[in-house]
Structure 1
Amino acid sequence: MVFSTRGRKVRRLLLSLLLLAAWEAGSGQVHYSVPEEAKHGTFVGRIAQDLGLELAELVPRLFRVASKGRADLLEVNLQNGILFVNSRIDREELCGRSAVCSIHLEVIVDKPLQVFHVEVEVRDINDNPPVFPMAIKTIWFHESRLLDSRFPLEGASDADIGVNALLSYRLSSSEFFFLDIQTNDELSQSLSLVLKKSLDREETPEINLLLVATDGGKPELTGTVQLLIEVLDVNDNEPSFDQSVYKVQLLENIANGTLVIKLNASDADEGSNSEIVYSLSSDVPSTIQSKFKIDPSSGDVRIKGQLDYEEMKSYEIQVVAADKGTPSMSGHCKISVKLVDINDNRPEVSITSLSLPIREDAPPGTVIALITVSDRDSGANGQVICSLTPHTPFKLVSTFKNYYSLVLDDALDRESVSTYALVVTARDRGSPSLSATVSVSVEVADVNDNAPTFAQPEYTVFVKENNPPGCHIFTVSARDADAQENALVSYSLVERRVGERALSSYVSVHAESGKVYALQPLDHEELELLQFQVSACDSGFPPLGSNVTLQVFVLDENDNPPAVLSSGSGGAGGAVSELVPWSVGAGHVVAKVRAVDADSGYNAWLSYELQPAAGGARSPFRVGLYTGEVSTTRALDEADAPRQRLLVLVKDHGEPPLVATATVLVSLVESGQALKTSSRASAGSAGPEATLVNINVYLIIAICAVSSLLVLTLLLYTALRCSAPPTEGVCGPGKPKLVCSSAVGTWSYSQQRRQRACSGEGPPKTDLMAFSPSLPPFLDSAEGTGQREADSEHSNEVS
């Protein structure tokens, strides 16, 4: 009895060992690999031999192969036990873009029942060229687009994997555009068409480019898209996003209709040109359009269908923001959506007590926000560590378990950086580690720490006199690096007195625009230089300001005609009568015209002309071009009219020149009559001395009456004395005096003449033209004499 019980135990043990050995033999797994697109009959492996089965027992034991999915791809030859390709294997059709693609086979034999697992890996070959969403893409570029403007392009897709799907791009040569490629990760690239040269629709209305994508397989395969760039002749502002790429992470089990991101584009225009309509780009594949939708008016991007991490791990959505202008302008951005596998729990981050904006003068240690992290896991997977990126003047301080404070760590300067985009990352200690992030946009509030500044400390302004009242003469402009009211600059005059009047009676400045106006016509003769300061002050508290100096030079205009002072011995400005003996010779000075001009420079440089006599008769008189002396050109004769009216024109050198006239009435008389008239004139203007001269004349006449011979001798002597040319000494030329200056430095002089009366009695007469230019050193007498002779010659030509 004991023996039989022990035997049963031994038999049970042997049976267990046999079953265990059979299980181990049946549970083995064989691995093969075969390239996709292999031809029918391609050898895969000796499956019977590798599984330890005899060829002779394959048919009796009902050897068969079962496959999940496509069962006709692989087949076994029961005669030789070889696994071969039975039909075309397309890896992309079978596994899509999965990194690993395998066909799982179950090999079953009976008598006894055994099951074997065989994995056949399908290797990828470069059989798919890169494919663009469309063959021809039309892009509209405004000719007003700034340099470095970007236009995102949809890249090509390659159904292969690995290096066979690693794409590179090149753009055909263009003087206007180049291709910018930004690599997001190993297989994700952002393509942008960047403007490198300004467009001109009138010269180049359209541009054709070819974009070529080349994969990394061998041999290389390429795909192309024709880029047709239409240049629009519109000057407008396009909508713009605050970011070019928005990165969003989503759980794969996110509910339908969930908000992915709220886009907000801004447009600097007004009215319908600033009303924005959001839409997905036409380049977006249908797979993305079936998963996401965007609200045209609000810019809310929401889930449209069910997301599957195993189907697609990430999405890149091109969004267009178009305004309602004519023609419509558009801005672009890309939303990079990454799905998160739900095989585990991510840490959760929440921000509370967010205190924004922060003043730029806030001291280090200021708390900006409280951050709370949590993880639904437990143990190491629930222990969360927070970090802050990038390295900015902020830091995270742990206050308690799973509680952090976002603290200012360094001084801020809004003028350098006005907004900080911070990313708080919470990472658990699981393996593999999972993390969650939250973005914090910290805006720096402005403090009035910058005064307005001018580009130059001083400006020089030239204004012509006689300007209309209220005319704009200059614009001052100051810049303030602060913001809002701290950068709002107002302008004012730094009041002072100009002579006896206040500065504000001459000029004013507009408080907002900085335009400086002349309140009244300026007069160069009264004020040549007006120097003052303009103050620029911001609206901060306390306000800051700075000054700039303006030097306003008043330029002279020819607004004053010459003024005739006197002619000969007559009164000022009227017609003057002169008696000239018939016996005078050439060069006898009859009269001298004096005139002045209140202007300066060329506008005050005067010249004299004698208006030609009526009928073209040649006058025996001439006038000095710059001296104003009226003299005879020849000896007088009986053919000359006894009474002549000379009209002297006095002109300045302004543009246009202004003219004044002086009339000289010349009466030709006998020598004795001229002497009497001269004596009477002297008596009327001289006083006691003139009376004494008249008595002497009467005595001479009485003596001449007694002796006719003596009278004849005296008359002959007097005629000879009056007709003789003047000699040096009392009647000679005096020291030259400066009368005018030209704008190029050429100076003219008039002679100071001292002409003794024909009787030889009385003091000499002095004729002088005087102006008010700046006076250089006087020239010597010889140079003055030469100038006078040149003026006389010029007067002869004019006469």
Structure 2
Amino acid sequence: MDLITSISHNELMLSMSIAAYLLPFLFHTCLSVDLTYYMKEGDNPNTYLGDVASDSNLMNTIPHQDRNLIQFVFLNQKDTDRPFLFSISKRTGKLYSAQTIDAETLCTRNTECFIMVDVAVRKATSFIKIIEVKIIIKDMNDHKPEFPLKQFSIEFSEDDKKGIRKIIPSAQDGDIGLQNSQITYHLKKNIDEPFALNVSRSVDGTSELVIILQETLDREMKASYRIQVVAKDGGSPPEQNVLDLYISVMDVNDNPPVFLQSIYNVSVTNEHHGVSPFIILSASDLDSDKNGRVVYRYSPQTSDAAKSHFKLNEITGEIFLQKKFLSGQKLTHELYVKATDEGVPALSSMAMVQVNVINQQNNAPKIEVTFVSVSNSHTILENIEVGSFIAYVKVIDHDAGLNGEVTCDLHHDKFQLQTFNTKKYKVIVKNPVDRETQDHHDITIRCQDRGSPPLSSVNKFSITVMDTNDEKPRFSKETYKFTIYENEKSKIPVGYINATDPDLGPGGKLTYSLLTSNKNFLPFYIKDNGLILTVMRLDHEFQEIYHFQVLVKDSGMPSLNNTVKVIVKVKDKNDNAPFFTFPNVNPFTLNVHYHPYRTNNITYLRASDSDSRENAFLKYEILHGNDKQLFIVNPYTGLLSFNRVVTLRDAGTYSLQLGVKDSGIPVQTAMTNITLRLTVSNKTSEIVNPMHVQSENKIQLYLVVVIVVIAITVSVPVTAAISICIIRCNNRRNVSNDNHSSLCACEQRNTKCPFHVSPSWPRVPMVQTADGAMSSNSLPPRPKKGPNLGNEFSCVDNCTDNKAASLPPDSDIIYQGLLLQP
């Protein structure tokens, strides 16, 4: 009968243990879970757990063109002590472990070890779904059973009867899994030793070990025994440990306290708070004296939160509610009470008190706001789309009935509150935001229950609008114009290019650069602050004006840019001296034949200056060699001409030093020398007695008239014949005189003669170079050198003077010089 009672009691204890184990499992199974994954404790970080995107069939509901915009992120859970146990790929939704997980640290013993995570699915900046994922952590057999002592001593009385029981310490296994923490025991002893081991399970999952006396003991035959208790867990492979047990033969406490029932179920309200107990536990002990006196204490399996609310009287077994429950606190608590007698060794038993808290109070709802951004910060980008999910609002109100029914509202022109689930909301963007207009927004969420009277709560927070690169740089001018003098040193500032950008951070950080083509070289560079400088000395004569563009761009993503036109004008300095282009050699020889009936102009001096404006405004002058004041030069045109009437006595060679100067500051000058060989026509002397020339002409005319009259009177044929002869004779003389006046026949050496220019030639300087080529296409070709001629032309002035009167007195003749080779 005792054996049947013992078996029934063990089966009952095992059933209660299994029920206690399955109760949390069934509770978690009722939770709303979208996906479940499994992993082993001790797995390395980055262990692949599952594909949230694929397993949730989410991607099948999203258009193909939008799938690249989908991102997966964790919602920060405020009730999670370890927010970095797992990681998820933003793009693929694949879930991995983030560190090596110890199941014993996370979970309690003999319970299913799992972690709940919320995965938010985001499209661009908008959150579209939250997936609740349950990750079950499989316990590994990484702990062996451990006895509290390496050795333990018990005593049996020599008058103890068969079946006397002695409790010994049981082993504890640190693993939380049912198999890995399930310990089996066996006794290692000699075959003649009268002891057996009995194992029973308590409601808290622990084992109670009892050494049973199988035969009566005779202390005089053997006073002590040494046996071993081997504890082995149910892992694969199993782990084990050994307790050395020393048994002394004497009288001991052999009856443990016994509760009336092993599980108590009670309900309490906050009205139980006070001096009255809501339950009294009682455990009876058949022993007497101190072996039968029982004390009550909480088992280590009782949570600290339960101990803080429920006070246990260790002597009487009374349990009191010493602290009221607040809204939102746990409503079910398990109290594990251990009854222990004062015998040696002490015997004990365990009972569980399940307390159900009935909440009848009305408490104001509690508002929790969690931002769904990656950094969980109160910030959004100014380019966020309308309708974007920015915050997750969870309302906590554990009151019963209408006291727990809550409604929430949010009044704002940019944001609104939408119902997400029961007592869950989401804050979305209602209208576009602009940082440049307003960089932050104050938001108030108000929630109120339906109690009587209704209670409400307010949660206020601010959202900061972060800048995006939506403004391109702007210039203060459409065109920048700068002026700089030539010949300045390199790295001379030209001017500033000023651009502004209202964006912040990299979006407002500007860099400048010059836009040039491969064909054009710009002698400038620009610094980061927009200052343009030269890279070399500039030359006005090389290039007077530079046209180019400046590119400014910010450092935002993507970068925005703008361009502006820049004109740099190089101002001239008087850095170039004038130089003669005619004459183009120094010294220069010019042969001039003067004829009184021709122009007084000799030639034009020509000079050039590479500078511009006043620095290139030239003036000519005769510096030396004009002692007779025979020559004069026009200071502006450079025309060299005779200053007075030329006589035969003026013939000769003149060494003229001519100068040209510009009008710059300081003045730049140039000089050249002309050797002018002047020959004067013989007709110059006839100008002294013009009446003689007139009377000679009159005599010739009278002679012709007399001859004609005589011829007419004598005979018509004779007169006609004579007249014809005279006319023909006179024509021959005229032709001969014309030929001699237009061109001199060169017959003698070492006698120089100029080329006379007809009045129809243009008034430009004509220069005959050393090889005889003329500087103007209108000039006749140079006569070829004869075999006996050197580098000079020789001729005899055979020109007659009787045709001089036929030239117009104001004909503009410019005398051309002959360049003589040394």
TM-score, with normalisation over the residues of structure 2? 0.37
Return the index of the structure with the highest Cα Rg.
2
TM-score, with normalisation over the residues of structure 1? 0.37
Higher relative contact order (CA 8 A, sep 6+): 2
